[in-house]
Homo-oligomer: A and B are copies of this chain.
Amino acid sequence: MAAKRSGKQSKRSPREVVPLPAEPETRNEPPLSLERIVATAVELLDAEGIDGLKMRRLADRLGAGAMSLYWHVGNKEQVFDLALDSVLAYREPSQMGEPPGWRGDVVHMLEDWRAVMLRHPWSAALLPRRALGPNILGRLELVSRTLSEAGVAETDLNVAIWSLWNYVIGATVTRASFDLSDDDRAAAQHRLTALSEHYPTIARARLLLDSDWDGTFRKGLDFLLDGLSPAP
C-alpha cells in the first residue's frame, strides 16, 4: 500500500557500522552544563537521528551518570527544543563583498537558513512540533526588518514574511525527507517503476530523480520576491 521506508533497521547506516564506544571518556570531564548538554545533544542527533537521542545515551556521552541531566533539563522535550534552536543561531555573514541590496540580503538569509537545516536534517523534521525559540524568532525579525526597510508596506509585511517562511520551511522539510528516503535505493527504484504507470506526468518529468534542489529553491524564491517587491 503505502511506500515503505524500512522503519528501524536501515536508518542512517554509515555511522552505525562501528557502534562507537561512547569515546574513551577517561580524562575527567568538565562539569555538566546546559551548554554542554545541548551541544552534545546536537552531536548525537547529527550522528544518529531523532530516534537516536536517548537520555541515557546523552548522559553517557557526557561522561555523566544517567540521571544527572534532569537537574539541568527537566525534560527530554526541552532537550529537543534547545537543540533545535541552538542549531539555528544566525551568524552575520563575514562581509563578502559589497552589500548587495535588500533583495540579495533576503536571499542570503533564507539560503543560509535552509543550508543550516539541511546540515542537521533532524531539525527539519523537528521544527513542526516545536515552539519558536529565540534564534528562530531572531531570524524572523531580521527578515522582517530588511523587508520593512526595503519599503514593504506595513499591511503587506505579514503576508511577505509568512510566505517566505512557509516556502523555506517547506523546501527544507521536503528536501530533508527525500534524503532519508534515498537511504534505501532499492525501494525508491521500485517505487519509480510503479510510478511510470500510475503517475505518468511526474515520472516523465523525473520529478523524484534529478531535481535540481538548490536551483529550484532559488527560482521559487525569486518568484515570491517578485510578487512581494514593493512597488517602485
Contacts and interface: CB of A to CB of B under 8 A. Distances in A.
A220 B163 contact: yes
A44 interface: no
Interface stretch (A4-12, A17-25, A62-70, A91-99): A4-12
A216 interface: yes
Interface in A78-98: 78, 81-82, 84-85
Contact of A1 (B82, B170, B207): B82
A150 interface: no
Interface stretch (A53-61, A100-108, A194-202): A194-202
A213 B159 CA distance: 9
Residue from A134, A163, A211 whose CB has the most chain B CB atoms within 10 Å:
A163
A33 interface: no
Report the copy number of this chain in the oligomer.
Answer: 2
Interface of A: 1-5, 7-8, 34, 50, 75-78, 81-82, 84-85, 124-125, 127-134, 137-138, 140-141, 144-145, 148, 154, 157-159, 161-163, 165-171, 173-174, 176-177, 180-181, 195, 198-202, 204-207, 211-213, 215-217, 219-220, 222-224, 226-228
